[in-house]
Amino acid sequence: MKPSDRSGSSLYDSDVFRMACRQFDLAADLIDLDRDVRERTKLPKRCLTVTVPVKHDDGVVRIYEGYRVQHHLSLGPTKGGIRFHPGVTIGEVAALAMWMSWKCALAGLPYGGAKGGVAVDPHALSRRELEALSRRYMQEMIPFVGPSIDVAAPDMGTNEQVMAWMMDTYSNQVGNSVPAVVTGKPIAVGGSEGRREATGHGVAYLIKRQLESMSLRPQDATAVIQGFGNVGAEAALALRGYGVRIVAISDVSGGFHNPRGIDLEAALLHQAKHRTLAGWAGGDAVSNVELLELPCTVLVPAAMERVITADNAGRLRCRVLAEAANGPTTNDADLILQARGDVEIIPDILCNAGGVVVSYFEWVQDLQSLFWTRAEVLVKLCAILDRASEAVERQRVRLGCPRRLAALALGIGRVAEAKASRGLFP
Ligand SMILES: NC(=O)C1=CN([C@@H]2O[C@H](COP(=O)(O)OP(=O)(O)OC[C@H]3O[C@@H](n4cnc5c(N)ncnc54)[C@H](OP(=O)(O)O)[C@@H]3O)[C@@H](O)[C@H]2O)C=CC1
Ligand SMILES: O=C(O)CCC(=O)C(=O)O
């Protein structure tokens, strides 16, 4: 029995992991990936589970479960964000690590994929508790991470401050500052210009390219954005910079629709004051489910996985689906959208690659202690996104397949080629 045939394993209990495996299988079939290399390329190399005790402000010690999955080590250190969210499971983290592998390979970065997470609601923690959790998670990871082993970054529920605490914890342990152990840090401790906005900026840039290829002017386009965190808010600002009208936004509490255009500054101010969009009055209230079906030129899911499903795929009213989130579209929804043929998908591993690309720049800058300007970062970012995007279009034509499969085929093919070149059997 192949490992991937096992049922009952905690990885396979996860819908998200099974979805990532299904995507892999489809792309591997398309490029006729050799059987010998197929399973090794698909399955994660290392899955680590740790318990993270945190003494809360009320004096009670609570234990959280944390994970890190390092998907493959064939191209360099592993790379990927750390998520703090109550729904995190080892299966979800493994799926996200797989997608990181294909994303890094597609962008031509010398990394394998990784992802980490803790099953916790970070909004329910005080700042002191959040610091304790971040430091203890990194403490547990110290034997398994490092600038040439595994390099973390922010994802949902984590931010620059969390990265700074983690970098400090690692550095204290080894006895000197090691900025390159994480990316997405504050600039004051070796972060890169442009990293905070990189993912959203990349999303907006690729949307602009897509609109141009459809002969649509950004000024005539509207966008609906689910998730108003790092990625969603930065994508909204960058899209507006290109002239796109943002007509709806949301966070976990729900969304707001305003066909005349959302006042992004007012939304950001409200969010900064209240931590949430709840209670804002900048549009008609809509649920996160309704938001996805609003009429718009571009729909940008920028929050959770599996929000475009067989239930709503037939009712989307967008011309472009720009997957800023990882894994927002289920396998069944993909088939429905493919059959419809009227929605252009910018697949996640391309659409949100801007974040890891600038993380790579940050890591390179930290290793050489030589820092670039924001303009240099953004020019290099766009060059990589152009290259990846053009490669996907060529692959799509060559294989005669949807854009997602073309992107996956490129990423998976490059990882498999590296594995085969290094030799299959030790
Ligand atoms: N940060 C990065 O550089 C990268 C992130 N990504 C992906 O982008 C997505 C967003 O990440 P990021 O912006 O960093 O995360 P953040 O934590 O900064 O923001 C997440 C946003 O999504 C909202 N949200 C959470 N759950 C739901 C839900 N069920 N329905 C609707 N909205 C929800 C949050 O609301 P609230 O704050 O109220 O909880 C928040 O507005 C994730 O899929 C992540 O993996 C991909 C590449 C890089
Ligand atoms: O910046 C990074 O290293 C990873 C970002 C990330 O987690 C992602 O692309 O999903």
In angstroms, the CA 262 to CA 215 distance is 25
Does the complex come out with an ipTM higher than 0.95? yes
Q: Which ligand is closest in space to the CA of residue 107? A: 2
Ligand 1 atom with the shortest distance to the CA of 154: 1
Instruction: Kindly state if the Cβ of 230 falls inside 6 Å of ligand 2.
Output: no
For 55, which DSSP code?
E
CATH match for 3-179 among 3.40.50.10860, 3.40.50.10240, 1.10.760.10, 3.30.1360.120: 3.40.50.10860
Best mutation site among 83, 102, 158, 199 for ligand 2 pocket (most ligand atoms within 8 Å of CB): 199
Read off the pTM.
Answer: 0.97
Instruction: Tell me the pLDDT tens digit for each residue of 14-59.
Output: 999 999 999 999 999 999 999 888 999 999 999 999 999 999 999 9
Instruction: Centre a 10 Å sphere on the Cβ of residue 358 and count the other Cβ atoms it contains.
Output: 29
Residues of the binding site: 79, 103, 199, 230, 359
Ligand 1 center to 303 CA (angstroms): 4
The CATH architecture assigned to 196-346 reads 3-Layer(aba) Sandwich (3.40)
Averaged over successive runs of 10 residues, the pLDDT of the chain (426 residues) comes to 52 96 98 91 96 98 98 97 98 98 98 98 98 98 98 98 98 98 98 98 98 98 98 98 98 98 98 98 97 98 98 98 98 98 98 98 98 98 98 98 98 95 71
Which token pair is 125? 């923690």
Query: Which residues are known catalytic residues?
Result: 115
Residues of the binding site for NAD(+): 199, 230
Ligand 1 center to 251 CA (angstroms): 8
DSSP string across 334-385: HHHHHHH---EEE-HHHHTTHHHHHHHHHHHHHHHT----HHHHHHHHHHHH
Instruction: Tell me the pLDDT tens digit for each residue of 87-106.
Output: 999 999 999 999 999 999 99
Q: Which residues line ligand 1 (CB under 6 A)?
A: 81, 154-157, 199, 226-232, 250-253, 276, 288, 302-304, 324-326, 352, 355
Query: Domain coordinates of the chain in residue numbers?
Result: 3-179, 196-346
**For the purposes of burial, counting CB atoms within 10 Å of the CB of 120, is it exposed (0-12), middle (13-18) or buried (19 or more)?**
buried
Q: Is 236 helix (H, G, I), strand (E, B) or coil?
A: helix
> What's the angle, vertex CA 145, arms to CA 143 and CA 151, rounded to 5?
170
